[in-house]
Amino acid sequence: MKEILKNIKLEQIIGIYHFEDSCFTVGKISKIDSKYLYLLSYDINFKEDGIKVFLIDSIKRIILKSDYIEKNQKKIVRLNRENKDIFQELIENRVEISIELGDGSIEEAYLTEKGEDYFKIKILNDNQNITSEEVITKDYLKRIKISNFIEKEEYKNFKVITTKDDEEYMAYDLSYNGDHLIFFEKEEFYDIAQINIIPKNMIENISEIEVKLDTKKENFYELIDFEKDLEIIEILRKCLENKFLVFIDNEDFFETKVGIITDLEDNKIKMKEIDKYGNFHKNSKIYLDEIQLLAIKNYKIGV
């Protein structure tokens, strides 16, 4: 990959798959050195959401050009859930949705008709081209998900929804539409929300929880001058000094480590991790050579 990256210009927008899974990052190249690739990263609506630093040797797949990148932006969904049937809005506005089926498979699709006990859908491929038209029974469609931009600050209070098949959602702004529950799914420290639609008869429990974390949105990118010989250790130091939220990953980690850096040495960092509910729960040590992906979100954390 080093040879390929040598021929890519700065400021070019590329896509990178994380390790060998399906996680995908789109970003604009800010710097490439002998060891790391530095990106100004975008969320799914192509809104800047921080920076990401990839260990070049861990990159297995780079997308140089695609219809998704060239389109640059997905349609922002603004659904009026109070005054109109949400399913009819999805049909009339031809909104792209993600559906989870009873067999666990997930498809991108358009909803074209909702009957009393069935849905008609058009299945899409990665280029948003229709590959099939199908009819699915209501009880076989486990969830509809719609990605959506939100303009408010990080929310504090939300509910935890657990389902009979042991799924768990961090949710807010709940409402009902017939025999379905509609809610926004909490996306940790992203300016996006997932509108979810699930059958009411799948719900096991709904409980309340309060996030005690004190957060403030601020653009980390403004602290960085990539024209200088900036090393990853200096980026980590700025995260430490300014208490920015970091995500650190390695293909051998059980899960991504999320939190703030509390100490920085020549070969390792100390980190206070945040759990999925948004509260501090443990301290960790990470050696610098373990960092295959470093993501800094545009959030400062008060402690």
DSSP string covering 4-73: HHHTSPTT-EEEEE-TTSS-EEEEEEEEE-SSEEEEEEE-TTS-EEEEEEEEGGG---EE---HHHHH--
Q: What is the pLDDT of residue 15?
A: 84
Q: What is the pLDDT of residue 22?
A: 56
Report d(CA 131, CA 100) in Å as an integer. 17
Q: What is the pLDDT of residue 126?
A: 74
Q: What is the pLDDT of residue 156?
A: 60
Q: DSSP of 213-258, one letter per residue?
A: -EEEE--GGGG--TTS---HHHHHHHHHHHTEEEEEE-TTSSS-EE
Beta partners for residue 261, in sequence order: 271
Q: What is the pLDDT of residue 73?
A: 46
Whole-prediction pTM: 0.71
Question: Strand, coil or helix: what is 129?
Answer: coil
Beta partners for residue 231, in sequence order: none
Q: Kindly give the confidence (pLDDT) of every residue in the chain, 303 residues in length, as a single tens digit, with 9 standing for 90 and above.
A: 777 777 788 888 888 877 655 567 888 888 888 889 999 888 766 778 889 999 988 888 888 876 666 655 455 555 655 556 888 888 988 888 999 998 889 999 999 999 989 999 999 987 778 999 999 999 899 999 987 666 555 556 688 999 998 888 888 888 888 889 998 886 666 656 788 999 999 999 999 887 777 778 888 888 888 777 678 888 999 999 999 999 999 988 888 899 999 999 888 999 999 887 777 889 999 999 999 999 998 888 875
Report d(CA 14, CA 70) in Å as an integer. 10
Domains and CATH numbers, the chain: 2-70+214-302 (2.30.30.600), 86-210 (2.30.30.100)
Q: What is the pLDDT of residue 120?
A: 95
Q: What is the pLDDT of residue 81?
A: 55
Question: Strand, coil or helix: what is 202?
Answer: helix
In the chain, count H helices and then E strands: 4, 21
Are the C-beta atoms of 288 and 269 separated by less than 8 Å? yes
